[in-house]
Structure formats: C-alpha cells, structure tokens
Amino acid sequence: MPGNVESTLHLLSGWQPRKDGTAASDAKILNEALGSEFEAVAAYQVAADSGLLQKPVLDVAMNFQGQHQAHADFLARTVKSLGGNPVELKKMGDYNFPTGNLKTQMDVLRFGAGLEQGAARAYLGMVAALDDRNLAKAIASILGDETMHWAILRQAIGEEPVPSAFPITWEDPRASQH
C-alpha cells in the first residue's frame, strides 16, 4: 500500500519535524496510534482466519486491514522522523481478542465495529493533543477513515450507520482545568 502512504504524506508536504520538545511528545502519541493500528491489522487477520466471513464481507475486511497497514506504515515512518522508536507488532496471542465469543459473521462484525469506534475516539483525542498541527491534519485524515469503517460495519450489522450528528465524542481533559 505504498500509494496510500504517499497520499497521506502529501498532507505533510514540506513538513519538517520540530526541533523543540514537542517532537518527543508527538512521537509518543503517534506511537500509541501505531500500536492501535497493529492491533487492527491483527484483528482483521483474526476475522479472516475465523472462516466466519462470507466472501463479500471478507473482501471488505481485507480492504480495511490493508488501510490499517497503510496507517501503520505512515505512523512508523513519522515516529522515526520525530526521533522516536516505533513500537513493534505484538504476537497474535498477546492481543487477547475474544476469539471464543466469535461464533458467527455477525459476532465478527460487532467485534470489528467496536474496535473501529474505539479507534475513531482515540484519533479524535489525538487531533487535539498533538502539538504539531500538520501532524494533527494527517491524524484527522486517519480519523475519517476509521469513522467510515465504523459506519460501514454498523450498517452491516443492521444498525444506523451514523447514529447521531455527533457520533464520536471525546472529552478534552484540559476542559476541566478551567
């Protein structure tokens, strides 16, 4: 998926990592995102390997997995450019996925929808937390992708794809400091 990484990198054209202390903070945030993207890649592999997904659904799941891998590639490169050490992909068993509860295609879809909703919430928080606003734009692009995944999976399980005008909420911890 190098083309996808490059298309995200255009958001950062001319971008240079900041030389102040914010680079380390941003690298830490992006490293957390990288770990989540690795988890998503692994989760979609569990879904594919379960044998529970019918062909058209399996194709969508594999497309989503590829997009998560593209996110991971972008994040790993960006963490390195900020002077950080990218986290590594864990072993499949280290993720503690609820594989024993995945008995039907619907179970797998609900599992995926929950992970995508969690990812969307996390990325929303990152947009606000990143000091480098150009990096925040790139993360907002990933946020959009996560919310599309969540909406598609919600529709597949028979739920309203976009349940409200503000379906993803995040509480800014700085708000309680005022």
Q: Is residue 38 part of a domain?
A: yes
- pLDDT attached to residue 57: 96
Distance of CA 90 to the CA centre of its chain: 16
Q: What percent of the chain has pLDDT over 70?
A: 83
Q: Is residue 9 part of a domain?
A: no
- pLDDT attached to residue 17: 56
CATH of the domain at 38: 1.20.1260.10
- List the domain range (segments joined by +) for residue 143: 22-93+101-161
- Residue 41 half-sphere exposure, CB side, CA atoms within 13 Å? 19
Q: Is residue 75 part of a domain?
A: yes
Tens digits of residue pLDDT in 46-97: 999 999 999 999 999 999 999 999 999 999 999 999 999 999 999 998 999 9
Distance CA(114)–CA(61), nearest Å, equals 14
Distance CA(76)–CA(36), nearest Å, equals 12
Which candidate, 34, 9, 132, places its Cα nearest to that of 84? Answer: 34
Q: Is residue 168 part of a domain?
A: no
Helices (H), 50-132: 55-81, 105-129
Distance CA(61)–CA(89), nearest Å, equals 19
Q: Is residue 10 part of a domain?
A: no
Cβ proximity of 46 and 99 under 8 Å: yes
- pLDDT attached to residue 23: 87
Question: CA of 91: how far to CAs of 34, 65, 69, 97, in Å?
Answer: 15, 17, 16, 12
Alpha-carbon torsion (98, 100, 106, 108), positive or negative: positive
Cβ proximity of 102 and 108 under 8 Å: yes
Six-digit token string for 6: 């490059």
pTM over 0.75: yes
Mean pLDDT (the chain) is 86
Tens digits of residue pLDDT in 143-153: 999 999 999 99
DSSP symbol at 166: S
Which candidate, 139, 124, 144, places its Cα nearest to that of 26? Answer: 139
Tens digits of residue pLDDT in 150-173: 999 999 999 999 988 777 765 544
Q: How many domains does the chain divide into? A: 1
Q: Is residue 48 part of a domain?
A: yes
Tens digits of residue pLDDT in 118-137: 999 999 999 989 999 889 99
